[in-house]
Amino acid sequence: MISSASSGPAWLCAAPLPDVAEPAFRVPLGAVDTHAHVVAANADAYPMVAERSYTPPPAPEEKYLAMLDACGMTYGVLVQISVYGTDNRYMLEVLRRNPQRLRGVAVVSPEVSDDELEAMHAVGVRCLRINVLFGGGIGFAAMEALARRIKDLGWHLQFLMDVETLPELMPRMMKLPVPGVVDHMGHTPVRGGIATPGFAALRHLVTDHGYWVKLSGAYRISDKAPAFEDVVPFAQTLIQDAPDRMLWGSDWPHVSLMPERMPDTGRLRNLIVDWAPEEAIRHMILVTNPARLYGFPESHDAIASANANG
């Protein structure tokens, strides 16, 4: 499995590759990259938390937007990166400067004020993240309280977790009053096969409890770089289970990796051809589903209007 390597609690990880492979298919208008991060160039203005698991190099707004353009993505969803903890300032500033093109996933404590949540909603935040894999995140203890706080805003919760822990958490996750999204196809090694208890539990959340899944981070769960062919059965199974609740994300800038493990973001996008050979299903994953979850326009006329005003 391609995993992070560490020489300390805040080791310096690699930067993303500068070039992006050409599309292997026609990327539809309205396509959304639902999972990426930004890291400010000015470390003094946006300090990272001491308890972080790694230290990323800068991945500022301009490089992020250039990546979206290179990948053919009309829209993007920014996810608050763990190294900033609950300091969402940089992500919110990027959202504020790109109101038509971007939405956001924030990280907050249960003590966050209603005014703060409403201010985040105004600039495009539509979700809160629960993260138990990297230092700086908010864990499972807060999920019920946070779910209650965001229910009336129409937001959802997003989970960065290894789904091998899902069987014991299922009773709680099934009762949450908001939709749930699981990152990176469950973030568990695929070498165990699709019959593992964790993946079976993820499928149960999807088929019986309306959960969504991000088809992202193949390089984090695969043993077979650079094509990640061992991920195909997992992605295809999830798509077959609920094509109307699958999302695609680049996971740019691919943090917590050594240079030799850094994937090509364009090749990651092109994996969707193997996962969803039918154009109609790809359109659902790239356009229809994220438009519904994050509130992006889906029709060509609406997209043109949004881009003109963005």
Domains along the sequence of the chain with CATH: 22-309 (3.20.20.140)
State whether residue 303 is helix, strand or coil: helix
Q: What positions carry a catalytic annotation?
A: 251
CA distance 247 to 158: 12
CA distance 294 to 18: 28
CA distance 159 to 162: 9
Q: What separation in angstroms does the CA of 221 have from each of 128, 231, 302?
A: 23, 8, 37
pLDDT in tens, the chain (310 residues): 344 444 456 789 999 999 999 999 999 999 999 999 999 999 999 999 999 999 999 999 999 999 999 999 999 999 999 999 999 999 999 999 999 999 999 999 999 999 999 999 999 999 999 998 887 789 999 999 999 999 999 999 999 999 999 999 999 999 999 999 999 999 999 999 999 999 999 999 999 999 999 999 999 999 999 999 999 999 999 999 999 999 999 999 999 999 999 999 999 999 999 999 999 999 999 999 999 999 998 766 666 666 665 5
State whether residue 66 is helix, strand or coil: helix
Structure tokens at 274: 């193997």
Instruction: Give the pTM.
Output: 0.94
Q: Are 16 and 270 in contact (CB under 8 A)?
A: no
Q: Are 217 and 162 in contact (CB under 8 A)?
A: no
Structure tokens at 252: 């740019």
